[in-house]
Amino acid sequence: MTSIRDNWPYQRVVPTDDGAVIDILRAIETQLDRLDVEIDDVKQQRRIDTATDRELTKLAGEVGVVRKTDESDERLRFRTHIAKAVTQSNGNIYEVAQLLGVIFDESERIVFSTPPDTPTVQLTIPSDMIDAVPLTSSELQRELTEIVPAGDGIIVQTTDTFAFAGTTSGEGFNQGKWR
């Protein structure tokens, strides 16, 4: 990429390596480079959000996600977003929190805890949040386990273990199932 200094249009003031002008140019260049990276990330993310069928399958394959038999685009797209975030992760708890912010709109409702003497993070996620994503809590746990270092783990728990509904919590009696 060419820099601002390479394309400097003013002949009377030429930036030197030790002047205030060059300091300002370096600061601007740094911010422009950061902006370019963010624009590229947004473009890539938009491609995943709008891709369908074979195009989505190909994008998912680039981050190591294979489409399962009869898997919907919505579900594959969700797993692809998780895998993309995992591949960019350093595996620390802050990045797990950021990933949950991508997955869930209300990540502040998720409780993090770490049992003593175990390399495991327990996530307690409200059932209505689990119901709103295309994966079950065990599938989500399996996907999130990829973000932590080898030997560590993530346990996903919901705030309730029995729901009076076939597909979502909070519906009528005698329609529930154990999750």
In-domain check, residue 71 = no
CA dihedral 143, 96, 103, 31 (to 10 degrees): -130
In a domain, 38, yes or no: no
In a domain, 48, yes or no: no
Is 135 within a domain? yes
1 pLDDT above the threshold of 70: no
Average pLDDT over residues 25-32: 84
pLDDT of residue 12: 65
pLDDT of the residue at 163: 46
pLDDT, tens digit (0-9, with 9 covering 90-100), for 41-93: 777 666 888 888 888 888 888 888 899 889 898 889 888 888 887 777 666 66
Contact 159, 127 (CB under 8 A): yes
Q: How many domains does the chain have?
A: 1
At 157 the three-state DSSP class reads strand
- The 10s digit of each residue's pLDDT in 95-129 is 777 777 777 777 777 787 777 777 777 888 888 88
Q: 158 is in which domain, residue-wise? A: 104-179
